[in-house]
Structure 1
Amino acid sequence: MSRLRRIMIIGGAGSGKSTLSQQVGVALNLPVYHMDREVFWLPGWVERSKDDQLQQVERIVALDAWVFEGNNSSTFHLRRVRADMLIWLDVPVWQRIIRVVRRGLRYRGRTRPDMAEGCTERLRMLPGFLWFIVSTARDSRRKQLDFFNRFELCKLRLPGRRATNNFLETLT
């Protein structure tokens, strides 16, 4: 695994992308980049322009080493070009919902480590985000599956915590 220098992690909201990316980054001594923090959001829940998002992705992808997590499918092709490995967290929707609720409660009023400064968790935003997860789950998973099947390099599908833990054990 030490030859891996650029790892792309995808999966739906609440699948564990941020947590896994941190763990992989530590295990392989690679810098970690979060789509929500470095690409999508500016402080205070202000969305970057599409052009700026694209520039940020291109900047990160051009680096020599990274673990880059995020499910922005419009940038899959940019990250794929340089990725040595793709990890897909294919976690069931019900489990993702539970994780998002727990995360919202844990970070209520604070900014998560994988988010831009000033993007604090607000419980009033939770119902809308949960609806987003449920309403986009089928289409999002279809895009991820299609991308995963077309990815020709090293790839790994992790359907849950046990598979993820087994993978992490191979890194240590």
Structure 2
Amino acid sequence: MDRVAIVGCGGSGKSTVARRLAAILDAPLTHLDAIYYDEGWRPMPQDEFAARQRELVVAPRWIIEGNYASTLPVRLAAADTVIFLDLSAAACLWGIIQRRLRHGGGQHAGGVYDRITWNFIRYVVGYRRTMRPRVRRLIREHGPHVDLIVVTSRRQANRLAAGRPPRAA
């Protein structure tokens, strides 16, 4: 694993898995939320965001975590490994609640952009129905060469983040 893209629903544990894997693999880590949003929670223009990712993926080693399906093909084309955290809506909502209790809202030093709105909750609840098929299609189309690791439980995510292959939940 030299070039790892980590994707999944909000609250699935992308940032946690990414931080732990970056430490184990001694690879540079980028949280896309930290690039996309400024300190005032204003998003970067889409063309600049895609250009920044194109700059990142030319490096020989990296871990990049974040969804952003519109620019996922940029990461998939360069990745050798994709970790797809495909947890249930309940598990993701619980992860969001835990993160909020630990850190509060806003932009965290670890790169997580945490702003809970009703639209975000609807997105999380509907992720498996709406976004998962899109992400899977993008992986098929732009990343047929990648080693795809699909994680469906917190237990599997914790094993992976500890540097052990995930087992079935």
Following TM superposition, by how much is the alpha carbon of 1:136 offset from its aligned partner in structure 2, in angstroms?
4.5
> Does 1:33 find its partner at 2:27?
no
SS in 2 for 1:86: strand
How big is the shift at 1:97?
0.8
Once the two structures are TM-superposed, the CA of residue 126 in structure 1 deviates from its matched residue by 4.1
CA drift of 1:109 comes to 5.4
Alignment of 1:79-90 (within 5 A): 79-90=75-86
Deviation at 1:108, TM superposition (A): 1.8
Counterparts of 2:123 and 2:67, CA distance in 1: 14
Query: How has the CA–CA distance of structure 1 residues 136 and 11 changed in structure 2, closer, same or farther, with 3 Å as cutoff?
Result: closer
- Quick check: 1:105 aligned with 2:105? no
Using the alignment, how far apart are the partners of 2:52 and 2:152 within structure 1?
Answer: 29
1:41–1:115: 8 Å Cα contact kept in structure 2? no
Instruction: For residue 56 of structure 1, report the CA deviation from its aligned partner.
Output: 1.2
1:15 maps to what in 2?
Answer: 12
**Counterpart residue number, 2:164:** 170
Count the aligned residue pairs.
Answer: 162
User: Retained in 2: the 8 A contact 1:101–1:126?
Assistant: no
Partners in 1 of 2:29 and 2:16 — Cα distance?
11
Partners of 2:150 and 2:58 in 1: how far apart?
25
Q: Could you say which residue in structure 1 is the equivalent of 2:130?
A: 139
Runs of 5+ unmatched residues, structure 1 = none
Q: Following superposition of structure 1 onto structure 2, how do residues 148-167 of structure 1 map, counting pairs within 5 Å?
A: 148-150=139-141, 151-152=143-144, 153-167=146-160
Deviation at 1:127, TM superposition (A): 3.8
Identity %: 25
Query: What code does the residue aligned with 2:24 have?
Result: A
Aligned-pair Cα RMSD in Å: 2.1
Q: Which amino acid aligns with 2:61?
A: A
Secondary structure, aligned partner of 1:91: coil
Q: Deviations over 1:107-149 (max 9, x none)?
A: 2256423338xx6x56xx4444223322454211111222344
State the one-letter code of the partner of 2:132.
Answer: R
Unaligned runs of 5+ in 2: none
Contact 1:36–1:114 (CA<8 Å) still a contact in 2?
A: no
TM-score by length of 1: 0.83
Alignment of 1:50-65 (within 5 A): 50-65=46-61
Q: Which range moved further: 161-170 or 66-75?
A: 161-170
